[in-house]
Amino acid sequence: MKDTRWLSETELDAWVAYVTATHLLERRVEEQLKAASGLTHAQYEILAKLSLSPARRMRMTELARQVVVSKSGLTYQIGQLEKRGLVERTTCPSDDRGVLAVLTDEGVRCLERTAPGHVAVVRAFLIDQLTPEEVETMRRIMTKATAAMESASGHAFRSAPPAPGA
């Protein structure tokens, strides 16, 4: 503990503000998504990622990496989405061992119905509270933090641009 670089008062205030704001925003996003479509935020992200993929499909391992969940966590979420007819699983044509998650037409319709409300929450409680310069600063800060975590873990979490409203 002697070598620990403790946070200064300003750093601690920044950390607490960040944690509080992210928890509160996540709660608002979850509430909106549940009310609008019965989706969790993780499920919404899966649908959004698939909607941006070629042919609305992606290997499960790549999808897990992009939505930053474990393979077992993704398998569970995909199962829930399959029950609702929003996603299907299929074998990868180029690799029989690979499994693809495929966004169905119903999944596209669900995303189209849900996205406007999701974006409204993100705007109301975060983006519209900031100046354009602050948004750019936030983007740079979060990109640096993501890069540090990717470097420490040895792999990239996101290879595609963020999903709309994400």
pLDDT in tens, 133-160: 999 999 999 999 999 998 898 777 665 4
Closest by CA to 119, choosing from 53, 17, 36, is 36
Q: Is residue 162 part of a domain?
A: no
Q: Is residue 28 part of a domain?
A: yes
pLDDT of 98 over the 80 cut: yes
- Asked whether residue 122 is domain-assigned, the answer is yes
Range of the domain at 41: 9-152
Q: Provide the percentage of residues in the chain whose pLDDT is more than 90.
A: 80
**Block residue for tokens 């649908």:** 47
CATH assignment of the domain containing 97: 1.10.10.10
Q: What is the pTM of this model?
A: 0.86
Q: Which pLDDT band holds residue 83 (cuts at 50, 70, 90)?
A: very high
Residue 62 lies in a domain: yes
User: Residue 80: which pLDDT band, with cuts at 50, 70 and 90?
Assistant: very high
Query: Could you give the number of structural domains in the chain?
Result: 1
φ, ψ for residue 40, nearest 5 deg = -90, 170
Q: List pLDDT tens digits, range 2-40.
A: 889 999 999 999 999 999 999 999 999 999 999 999 999
DSSP string, the chain: -TT--PPPHHHHHHHHHHHHHHHHHHHHHHHHHHHHHS--HHHHHHHHHHHHSGGGEEEHHHHHHHTT--HHHHHHHHHHHHHTTSEEEEEETTEEEEEEEEE-HHHHHHHHHHHHHHHHHHHHHTGGGS-HHHHHHHHHHHHHHHHHHHHHHTS-S-SSPPPTT-
Cα separation of 126 and 90, whole Å?
A: 37
66 found inside a domain: yes
Does 157 fall in a domain?
Answer: no
Residue 163 placed within a domain: no
Would you say residue 164 lies in a domain?
no
- 58 versus 153: which is more confidently predicted? 58
